[in-house]
Amino acid sequence: MSKVYLLGAGPGDPGLLTLRAKDILSRADVVVYDYLANKAFLDFARPDAEIYYVGKKGGDHTLPQDRINELLVAMAKSGKTVARLKGGDPYVFGRGGEEAEELVAAGCPFEVVPGVTSAVAAPAYAGIPITHRSFCSSVSFITGHEDPTKAESSLNWKAFATSGSTLVFFMGVKNLPHITENLMAAGMPGDTPAALVRWGTTCRHKSLVATLATMPEEAARHGFAPPSLFVVGGVVSLRDTLSWYEKRPLLGQGVVVTRSREQASDLVRLLADQGACCHEFPALEIAPLADPAPVHAAIDRLFNYDWVIFTSANGVKCFFAAIDAKGLDARAFAGIRLAAIGPATAEALAARGLTADFLPERFVAEAVVEGLLALGVAGAKVLIPRAREAREVLPEKLAEAGAEVTVLPVYDTRPVDRDPAEIVAAMEAGEIRYVTFISSSPVTNFFARISPEVLKAAKVKTACIGPITAKTLGEYGFTPDVVAAAYTVPALAEAVIADAVAAAGGATP
């Protein structure tokens, strides 16, 4: 049955989207989203969902409100489930009430899913509790931009100025002089603490504290622009004491993650948790084999092998997909010893109920060879399920030591055909601080799309997971600015964070 869901996307942090909203997004036939709704939410939508952007930015309306209403009604009447994704809460200065009225008038079923309003969340991320026993026991949410067709303002400035409430103005940056003048004219002291919070809860979050009288001048001097909230009241004085989000060392710094989308989530999460604005630009993608028959045949002969060496979590995933397809499970490895090239690979095995018999101290092929030779792999039959294209060090060295090695491609990697214009524009605008590389292949494919000169001109830092990747970077004229101490994704994230802290003088901002 068709229905329109008016979803509150929250203030921007994807972690503040409700479980209910995420569930509806994952099932909707159509997603209609606003400027203030973080595009990351679209990752929750079905791959085949119809996506419509209807955002409004600084008076530039992609679609006027009446056309948005018509779109929602038309989609609902065509029998589709519609997720109308709105920034913040649909009913808090979001015009959700107007859209609901139109749906009722057209006879279209609808449901409202409230969201976390920026009026609460953005000040909280800035270290400002909007109520506090020592300062106030009430709060007022006020539009800083009333309907221009109204004959006169409905705002009672005298009541606001004398209420003792925390005042939170939406969309008030353009009208700051008007707002501050009216409040002071109505009796509010000019030295009342005030704050602006821009892009609250997102990686672009920043705040500014001044007084009611000085805020218009300070806002202009610091270049504050929409979307910003204006907060007025004694609670603002707690900002320096309670600030927490703005202490994240990567806040506001753009980081390009070149890892495949299948693998990027862990690195993105680690960096985003420290405030980074992550730009996913996968240089490679994982692709299934055109012919899986050789993998199935190898599984049928698995009992012939003494060792199976997994060189990546992807290898584990793809090999077990074939095992599952044959109706088998971990018991197929009975009597076989297992090696993993690194902790992520070992964790992928553990998720399948298997413990690696060997995990090297250094997570590169050379260390695997050294360790296995010490365990007496010479003369053993070894199977290596891996990507079709990979470094040959491991099988070659094992074969030289007397092992009987079978290299089994279980997946392909291929370059991602993606337009680099957005990433290049961000670099040229100074929005990118780091580009991260997890292996040599992404380096090669990244520079096949983006000239090394672009990075050099923008003074972008490069970060890589280890010396082999660093050597590949050197072929393009770069000495990496950041190299992970251990060859793991967490270590790479830690190295980037440490570099950001050092660049800030050894302290978080």
Residues annotated catalytic, as ranges: 34, 56, 171
Q: Helix or strand or coil: residue 278?
A: strand
CA distance 478 to 471: 9
- Omega within 30 of 0 (cis) for the link into 227: yes
Q: Helix or strand or coil: residue 491?
A: helix
Helix (H), strand (E), coil (C) string for 367-414:
HHHHHHHHCCCCCCEEEEEEECCCCCHHHHHHHHCCCEEEEEEEEEEE
Exposed, middle or buried, 297 (CB in 10 Å: 0-12/13-18/19+)? Answer: exposed
User: What residues contact 154, with CB distance under 8 A and at least 6 apart?
Assistant: 146
CA distance 419 to 125: 34
DSSP conformation letters of 137-181: S-EEEEESS--TTSSS----HHHHHHS--EEEEET-STTHHHHHH
Q: For the chain, state the CA radius of gyration.
A: 28
Beta strand 50-53 pairing with 30-33? parallel
User: Which residue do the tokens 């997994």 mark?
Assistant: 310
CA distance 112 to 372: 60
Residue 376 CA, distance from chain mean position? 45
Residue 270 has what DSSP assignment? H
Residue 337 has what DSSP assignment? E
